[in-house]
Amino acid sequence: MAAAYAIKEGLWLRTLLSDLGMRLDTITINADNQGAIKLLKNPVFSMRSKHIGVIYHFARERVIRKDISFKYIPTAKMVADALTKPLPAAKLAFCRTAMGIAGMEQ
């Protein structure tokens, strides 16, 4: 479950910021997987979700504690795509603008 790894990284970053004297209460993770978000917020087990193991319970516990919150972002508006995959020019320009990164022409 990718969400659990994102949670681990977010908690590590929160600890780092705390060591630097900054306080961060709840970490918000933007995700485009509505199924995973619903499962973390409302633990309904079915035959299809029986295989979920310990890592899911770690993630679910952090959501319950309000250490982490998830926000749905449609795939087309996912800004992090610029950091993870090659993009067409229009999508790259959108991601750059959303991250506050100026292009070479500016």
Do 17 and 53 sit in the same domain of this protein?
yes
**Percent of the chain beyond pLDDT 90?**
41
Do 8 and 44 sit in the same domain of this protein?
yes
For the stretch 2-53, pLDDT in tens is: 888 889 999 999 999 999 999 888 999 999 989 888 888 876 655 555 666 7
Do 18 and 60 sit in the same domain of this protein?
yes
Do 97 and 50 sit in the same domain of this protein?
no
- For the chain, how many structural domains are there in total? 2
> pLDDT category, 54, cuts 50, 70, 90?
confident
Which of the two residues, 65 and 46, has the higher pLDDT score? 65
Do 33 and 58 sit in the same domain of this protein?
yes
Do 23 and 65 sit in the same domain of this protein?
yes
Q: Please report the DSSP string for the chain in residue order.
A: -HHHHHHHHHHHHHHHHHHTT----PEEEEES-HHHHHHHHS----GGGTT--HHHHHHHHHHHTTSEEEEE--GGG-TTHHHHS---HHHHHHHHHHHTPPPTT-
pLDDT at 56: 77
Do 51 and 10 sit in the same domain of this protein?
yes
**Which residue has tokens 């992090």?**
80
Domain extent, residue 23, equals 2-73
